Structure 1
Amino acid sequence: MTDEAYVSIWMRPEQTSRGPKPAYSRAQIARAAVRIADAEGLEAATMRRIAAEIGAGAMSLYRYVPGRDDLIVLMADLLMGEINLRGIPSVDWRADLTRYAEEVRAMWLRHPWIATVHRSLHSYGPNQLLLIEQIMGVLDPHVSVDENLVLMSILNGYVESVARDEVTAAEELRRSGLTEQQWLARTHPYVQQLLESGDYPLFTKIALEARHPRLTSDAQFHQGLTRVLDCIATAIPTTESQNNHEKP
């Protein structure tokens, strides 16, 4: 059943042709909300708290942002605007996608509360639409639109999965009050018990031989990203994928 009463925030005019000029803007409200969420968590970004931040009456803000879901949409789209893809698409699809992946991960790490926002349903705000045009344009000359969507889904899935794990781990450490070294030291006796049991040979192999967990988080991210881009390369005509892969 469709919700006939629902109107996208992007379809609501920010300023009508009549009446006084609005005292605030959606962008101003969204920026205040993001500042609060960054400092105190998403739940702290209430209308009352935002109003205090910008010196407005809480009820007056509902003239600009009708509800909580609309506020989240505005905040998320504001973050999309932080992803700098200037100059993309270029002639080097691999460099373009690498830069995009790095920008998205960096945005998540700057604003860890984004991990709590359900983003499977797109709102198609102006910043998100600009990103779509830029990043889909990278592979558009090489593959069909359906293949493009699949490949971008693979890339986004990897980047967001890694970023979510990083954000979650950082939050768990923060709550525990421990450093990463202290956390590992606390779990060491149990891990040692598992190794000595001989019951988990693959876990033992991971613990004793795997190099990946010992890399920095940046190195881990780029190692996995290289494999994802290698996968994408298989969908691109061979001469193009080889030429891009061989570039320094």
Structure 2
Amino acid sequence: MRPEHGTRGPKPTHGRRDVAVAGIRIADAEGIDAVSMRRIAAELGTGTTSLYRYVSKKDDVLELMGDEVMGELRGTTLPGDWRADLRTIARLLRETALRHPWLPSLSSGRANHGPNSLWWTELSLSAFDGMDLDTDEMLANLSTLSAFVLGHVLGELGDQEAARRSGLTHEQWMEQQGEYGPSIMNSGDWPRLTRVMIEAKTPHAADRQDRLFEAGLARVLDGLAAHLPPRK
């Protein structure tokens, strides 16, 4: 709601969106901790003090960045069936968070009420149109879905970070376990885990993250279905 720039002084070279886009470029490449007013100013080729013509503090920049990313989802249409709608929402949130690994740390906090975020919230709530649900129930359903997506994405990002630190792919890491796996299975102390280690196929699959996400999402939607009335 603030004016894009003040009425005094020369016309600004950049706008708030430029600041947000520059912050996103830095965060995507180096992580959210690398984002600072000085770095953004350097990215835009301007002085640090000039940024305060557009924003008052770094938290403003982070909000603008989060809302700008949600703008990538503009144009999304939902199928019109609640289960398909929520599945679409979950998949898009996962894809967006994986493109911008810093996003979960922002979205897990207070809600962003920028124009793109408001649009996304309105679209998400439309998945429950025609149902006899009160607003708290709608929020509980969306919060449950969001928590699942966020938890899964954090696991994926953690796996990527472990690969980066160690220099080992998932397959190389599993091979490196050497005799430790057989020692677990041969001890006889962990029969349930041993069965998983012998029989489970998903941990070895190249698309294991996709499989785990889709399996978990199906179970979340089944759980929500138990609390949802039919559409009128």
CA contact (8 A) 2:171 2:204 kept: no
Distance 1:55 1:162 in 2: 38
**Which residue is equivalent to 2:128?**
139
Secondary structure class of the residue paired with 2:177: helix
In structure 2, what residue type is equivalent to 1:228? V
**Residue 97 of structure 2: aligned partner:** 108
- Of 70, 89, 94, the match for 2:60: 70
Residue from 191, 195, 203 that aligns with 1:213: 203
Q: Which amino acid aligns with 2:5?
A: Q
Shift of 1:128: 1.1
Distance 1:31 1:161 in 2: 26
State how many pairs are aligned.
229
Which amino acid letter does the alignment assign opposite residue 131 of structure 1? W
In the other structure, the counterpart of 1:5 is: none
Provide the residue aligned with 2:221 in structure 1. Answer: 229
| 3-state secondary structure, aligned to 2:211 | helix
TM-score with structure 2 length normalisation? 0.89
- Whether the 8 Å contact between 2:5 and 2:54 is mirrored in structure 1 is no
Q: Which residue of 1 aligns with 2:83?
A: 94
What CA deviation, in whole Å up to 9, does each residue of 1:152-194 have, x standing for no partner? Answer: 1111111111111101110110111112211111224222221
Q: Alpha-carbon deviation of 1:18?
A: 5.8
Query: C-alpha deviations, 1:66-90, integer Å up to 9, x for none?
Result: 21211111111111112245223x5
Whole-angstrom distance in 2 between the partners of 1:54 and 1:201: 59
Unpaired runs of 5+ in structure 1?
1-10, 242-248
Say which is worse superposed, 115-124 or 195-204, in terms of deviation.
Answer: 115-124
Partner-residue secondary structure (3-state), 1:117: helix
Deviation at 1:28, TM superposition (A): 0.7
Displacement of 1:220 in angstroms is: 1.8
Secondary structure of the 1:82 match is helix
Structure 1 residue 19, shift from structure 2 partner: 5.4
**2:27, 2:102 within 8 Å by CA — same for their partners in 1?**
yes
Alignment RMSD: 2.1
Write the distance in 2 (CA, Å) between the matches of 1:106 and 1:84: 14
Aligned residue for 1:153? 143
Identity of aligned residues (%): 42
- What does 1:1-248 correspond to in 2, within 5 Å? 11-16=1-6, 20-84=10-74, 86-88=76-78, 90-117=79-106, 119-142=108-131, 143-215=133-205, 216=207, 217-238=209-230, 240=231
User: Structure 2 vs 1, CA of residues 85 and 162 (structure 1 numbering), >3 Å: closer, same or farther?
Assistant: farther
Give, in whole Å, the separation in 2 of the partners of 1:98 and 1:85.
Answer: 17
What is the one-letter code of the residue matched to 1:141?
Answer: G
8 Å contact 1:115–1:167 — kept in the other structure? Answer: no
Structure 2: 5+ residue stretches without partners: none
